């Protein structure tokens, strides 16, 4: 009992003094109450690493292999990519409340942000969406938004994805894959979703997709009110995309 109490006290002191790298084990973590709670929980969960087969655990300790995201990787998956079309078809369903499918661009933005924030609780790594710019097309068109109005909504999206809403005072780790260079088969064969229904092939929304990408670039370039860069969502762009180079 006394040994267990001392071990608990040592964990508290370790966090208070920031005496190990584990306290701020990545640049996405900040000190705070839930940061402390997460630190204590992780220390206790590490006691169960014997769940890993012995030969792998020995190899990990020797440095022959590296088991990423311990202790979380014992219980939940790492990174994942999600289907934005499913989100738009079904609306946003969470353990607490449910929303109908989006019909306006501001709702589209809220659903994307809150879906990624919610899903981060079920994974230890990045949450990714692909072709967000194409699927935003019908909402931008229906709302008749100009470039400035699109940028204002993208600013909301980016700010919401950078607040510390994840356990341990962390920002959700998010990624947008920009697919302006998508093959014709996808642009003609995959349909945009509006109000939960398929409306037109993605390729019909090229103008709106460009507005989205330009707005995202401007928001990321400007940073927050102090000029600090946004760390998320990480934009993945294909440098082979001719459209990015040819179209200013």
Domain boundary among 74, 100, 132: 74
List C-alpha distances in Å: 163 to 116, 117, 140, 211, 220.
12, 10, 25, 24, 15
**Both 63 and 157 in a single domain?**
no
Residues 146 and 64 in one domain: no
Query: What total number of domains does the chain contain?
Result: 2
Q: Are residues 188 and 225 in the same domain?
A: yes
pLDDT per residue over 49-75, tens digit each?
888 888 988 898 899 999 888 888 888
Lowest mean pLDDT among 76-80, 84-88, 130-134, 242-246: 242-246
Last residue of a domain, one of 26, 41, 74: 74
Mean pLDDT of the chain: 89
Q: Which residue has the tokens 């993208």?
A: 154
Q: What is d(CA 191, CA 3) in angstroms, rounded to the nearest whole number? A: 61
Unique residue bearing structure tokens 């640049």 = 27
Residue 218 sits in the same domain as residue 142: yes
Sheet holding 127-130, edge to edge: 80-82, 127-130, 174-178, 234-237
What pLDDT is attached to residue 203?
Answer: 96
Span 24-34, average pLDDT = 75
Residue 85's closest CA among 51, 41, 50, 130?
130
pLDDT tier for residue 29 given thresholds of 50, 70 and 90: confident
Range of the structural domain that residue 38 is part of:
2-74
Q: Are residues 59 and 115 in the same domain?
A: no
User: In the beta sheet, which residues pair with residue 176?
Assistant: 129, 235
Looking at the fold, whether 91 and 200 belong to one and the same domain comes out as yes
- If asked whether residues 8 and 127 sit together in one domain, one would say no
Same domain for 92 and 58, yes or no, is: no
Last residue of a domain, one of 74, 98, 115: 74
Gap between the Cα atoms of 139 and 195, Å rounded: 9
């Amino acid at each position: 009992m006394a040994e267990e109490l001392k071990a608990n006290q040592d964990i508290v002191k370790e966090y208070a003094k920031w005496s190990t790298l584990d306290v701020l084990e990545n640049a996405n973590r900040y000190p705070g109450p839930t940061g402390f709670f997460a630190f204590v929980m992780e220390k206790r969960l590490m006691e169960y690493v014997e769940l890993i087969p012995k030969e792998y655990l020995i190899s990990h300790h020797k440095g022959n292999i590296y088991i990423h995201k311990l202790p979380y990787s014992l219980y939940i998956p790492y990174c994942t990519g999600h289907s934005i079309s499913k989100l738009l078809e079904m609306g946003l369903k969470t353990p607490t409340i449910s929303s109908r499918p989006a019909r306006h661009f501001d709702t589209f933005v809220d659903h994307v942000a809150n879906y990624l924030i919610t899903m981060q609780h079920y994974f230890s790594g990045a949450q990714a969406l692909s072709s967000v710019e194409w699927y935003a097309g019908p909402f931008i068109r229906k709302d008749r938004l100009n470039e400035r109005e699109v940028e204002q909504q993208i600013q909301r999206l980016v700010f919401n994805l950078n607040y510390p809403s994840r356990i341990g005072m962390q920002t959700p780790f998010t990624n947008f894959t920009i697919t302006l260079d998508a093959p014709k088969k996808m642009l003609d064969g995959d349909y945009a979703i509006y109000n939960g229904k398929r409306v037109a092939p993605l390729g019909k929304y090229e103008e709106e997709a460009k507005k989205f990408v330009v707005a995202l670039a401007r928001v990321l370039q400007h940073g927050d009110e102090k000029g600090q860069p946004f760390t998320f969502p990480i934009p993945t762009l294909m440098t082979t995309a001719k459209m990015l180079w040819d179209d200013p």
